């Protein structure tokens, strides 16, 4: 996968997927149409980010130390 922000190649398992909806109409026109009872179309947009860009743009949060995986020494 390519990161949408920096273009870095990221494995699909590591890439962070962000999905949001985009309306195809202007906000004011869409509001009037919704008040009139019309169905305003919207489109689902999926973006993929590398971990560093996702954290930098606040798409995902850094977990606290307690929630991260514990690493113990193997004897």
Question: Could you report the per-residue pLDDT of 16-75, keeping only the tens digit for each?
Answer: 999 999 988 898 999 999 999 999 989 999 999 999 999 999 999 888 877 777 777 777
| pLDDT value at residue 24 | 87
Question: Class for domain 1-75, per CATH?
Answer: alpha beta
What does residue 22 show for φ and ψ, rounded to 5 degrees? -125, 125
* pTM given for the model: 0.70
CA 22, 28, 30, 35 dihedral sign is: positive
């Amino acid at each position: 996968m390519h990161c949408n922000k920096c273009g870095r190649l990221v494995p699909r398992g590591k890439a962070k997927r962000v999905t949001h909806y985009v309306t195809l109409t202007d906000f004011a026109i869409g509001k009037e149409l919704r008040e009139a009872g019309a169905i305003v179309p919207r489109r689902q947009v999926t973006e993929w980010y590398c971990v560093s860009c996702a954290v930098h743009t606040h798409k995902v949060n850094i977990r606290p130390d307690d929630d991260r995986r514990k690493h113990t020494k193997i004897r």
